[in-house]
Amino acid sequence: MKQRWSMWALAAGTLSLSATAFAAAPTPEMISFACAGCHGTNGGSAGLTMPSLASQSKTAIVDAMKKFKSGERPSTVMGRLAKGYTDADFDAMANFFSKQKFHATQQVVDAAKAKKGADLQEANCSRCHLEEGKEGKDDTPVMASQWLPYLQMQMGLYQSGARKMPEKMAEKVKPLSKEDIEALLHFYASVK
Amino acid sequence: MTLDRRSFIKVLGSASGLALAGCASQGPVGSTTEIMPKGGTRRVVVVGGGFGGAIAAKYVRMLDKSIEVVMIEKNRQFISCPFSNFYIAGLMNDMSTLTIGYDKLAANHGIKMVFGEVTAIDPAAKKVVTTEGTLAYDRLIVSPGIDFRTEEIEGYDARTAEIFPHAWKAGAQSTLLRNQLQSMKDGGTVVISMPLVPYRCPPGPYERASLIASYLKKHKPKSKLILLDANPDVVSKKPLFTKAWSTYYKDNFQYLNGKKVTKVDTGAGLVSVEGIDDFKGDVINLIPAQRAGMIAINSGLAGDDKKWCPVDAISFESTRHKGIHVIGDSAAPASDGPPMPKSGYSANSQAKVCAMNVVNLMNGKETIELSGINVCYSAISEHESVSIAAVYTVKGGKIMSVPNSGGISPVDFSMAKAEHAYGESWLRNILTEMST
């Protein structure tokens, strides 16, 4: 029995070497699957402070990854991780996640705030955040159904100046009250 | 189980043709009855439903529905080791947020579950023997976690873990350690003993020390904690932990390096280091040195070190047995530089790489190079956490971390509160991925 096992070992060793030699470069799936431990399977997040990437705008993902890598966008682990990838890798993961089905989260929001937020969104944000934030356009990310704590953390970073607000967004956000912004975030979180 | 209708074999040291060297005489009893006879469908069997196994089973099915997947797991519920230190240190009331079942995972992906224990693997016959019966496979993915090298500690016997809990497999052991801490009188001494690398979860003992020190500071201020590290220095997130200890716990916590516990005396309540120093403790958390899960060792999957399982860096196929892949804590993929840590996230990441390549090999397609990640959060206090992150690639058939990437949190703890929240999301996402 032992003899047979060592023969197997020899055969397996040879096979492994050849498997390694002919391995193809990482595919978009290979690169993107690794993100799912934190962002959920196919980018549908269950973690309250982590965004869903499923159906996200391709440009928004590439843009975010580049800004994480350069440090322009503040982060904890994302900057350190982004440094491990090339621009081609960013394209590959953006391509993968943008093609995934929209992830609707189940979360409790304040109905009155969400209602107020719906009107504010229509009046102020809907030219860029299309379809109630469900559609990402160019570098505008999908906002709909993101977790409320994630949205609040990001808005906090924008307002503190740690994350740079796009000019068009700043124009619209500045006149809004704290309550208005809170209502908007409740609205986006509520969109299914 | 119908004992009268099944013939049972004592797998270990028996005449079953699976005689295995170097095993203890006790162990679970395997059944020779074939369960789920394999028809024409190709089958992957997964041993173990932890961070590696559950993900491997899921992703094989996600990638190719024509492959049947059977997952064998001992327990009906999985309890996460990550975050179990919160429970031990009294920051969680119970382990419900750490616990998942397999029902949704199995239903969503059509994974067939066998709840039982694998007693032997026969690589030549491509068959596993379990307590519930035997299963044939085309490819086998083994993800059995770790076992303890308790034989290296003099005086360690079957009862030792009931008195000096390791709490390095979450569940009853975590509860035992928690209860011991809570019933300890104020003024008592807690001793944690941690082994030489490699072991499961490199920062885990340091996180545990931090959270227990935090617990003692708040609830038992006259008590103290000693961490006996067998390693010559802190092996993970060193600048972060050492800063946390000197900032928050300098009055009740002592870190001692190069202290390898070689002997225990449960009656006297002490552990002994190399026959020189004795450390008495009212609570002793003894984490023994580790090896791959025993089923991997007993199946001849371990390398020359008899501890860990050498595997190909791309397919995670064993270099010892063809058709068998090993992932997670048990695996030792060929590496250039520091290997992927034995963490839950590494196991999750490796499982996907393995699943893709198992599917490709079964479909006669070329394998794909690994692209992997490790992300690991550790709490340093009740409200603060720190992290380490890395991206892995393959070069020359070896796994290496991508140069100039990854690293640890800023040492000024400016991100520590945010990272505490991110850590919770990490847990929720990784457990949801395994259970849905």
Which pLDDT does position B19 carry in this prediction? 39
- The band of B275, judged by pLDDT with boundaries at 50, 70 and 90, is confident
Q: Which long-range contacts (CB under 8 A, 24 or more apart) does B386-390 make?
A: B386/B237, B386/B240, B386/B244, B386/B413, B386/B415, B386/B416, B386/B419, B387/A76, B387/A77, B387/B419, B387/B422, B387/B423, B388/B203, B388/B236, B388/B237, B389/A77, B389/A80, B389/A81, B390/A80, B390/A84, B390/B340
Structural domain for A144, as ranges? 106-192
Structure tokens at A112: 């009155």
A75 and A150 share a domain? no
What CATH number does residue A92 fall under? 1.10.760.10
Looking at A103, A133, A153, which one is the last position of a domain? A103
ipTM for the complex? 0.92
Of the listed ranges A22-26, B218-222, B311-315, the least confidently predicted one is A22-26
Higher pLDDT, B178 or B29: B178
A93 and A134 share a domain? no
B45 pLDDT above the threshold of 90: yes
A110 and A175 share a domain? yes
Residue A129 inside a domain? The answer is: yes
Share of chain B above pLDDT 90, in %: 92
Number of domains in chain A: 2
A59 and A139 share a domain? no
- The band of A2, judged by pLDDT with boundaries at 50, 70 and 90, is very low
B3 pLDDT above the threshold of 50: no
A117 and A143 share a domain? yes
Q: What is the CATH number of domain B150-288+376-435?
A: 3.50.50.60
Residues of A in contact with B361 (CB under 8 A): 19
Residue A70 inside a domain? The answer is: yes
- Give the pLDDT mean for B251-256: 98
Residues of B in contact with A54 (CB under 8 A): none
Q: Which of residues 52-111 of A touch B (CB under 8 A)?
A: 76-77, 80-85, 89
Residue A15 inside a domain? The answer is: no
A6 pLDDT above the threshold of 90: no
- The band of B15, judged by pLDDT with boundaries at 50, 70 and 90, is very low
A35 and A84 share a domain? yes
Q: Which long-range contacts (CB under 8 A, 24 or more apart) does A160-163 make?
A: A162/A74, A163/A73, A163/A74
Residue A158 inside a domain? The answer is: yes
Q: Over chain B, what is the mean pLDDT?
A: 94
Residues of B in contact with A26 (CB under 8 A): 368-371, 393
A132 and A55 share a domain? no
Residue A20 inside a domain? The answer is: no
Which pLDDT does position B276 carry in this prediction? 87
Which pLDDT does position B26 carry in this prediction? 59
CB contacts < 8 A, A to B, total 184
Q: Where are the domains of chain B?
A: 3-74+116-148+292-363, 150-288+376-435
B13 pLDDT above the threshold of 70: no
pLDDT in tens, B354-383: 999 999 999 999 999 999 999 999 999 999
Which pLDDT does position A137 carry in this prediction? 83
- Give the pLDDT mean for A106-115: 97
Which pLDDT does position A138 carry in this prediction? 87
Which pLDDT does position B39 carry in this prediction? 87
Superfamily of domain B3-74+116-148+292-363: FAD/NAD(P)-binding domain (3.50.50.60)
- Give the pLDDT mean for A123-146: 94
Which pLDDT does position B281 carry in this prediction? 98
Instruction: Name the closest residue on chain A to residue B316, using Cα atoms.
Output: A16
A115 and A151 share a domain? yes
The verdict on a CB contact (< 8 Å) between B428 and A48 is yes
Smallest Cα distance from A23 to chain B, Å = 5
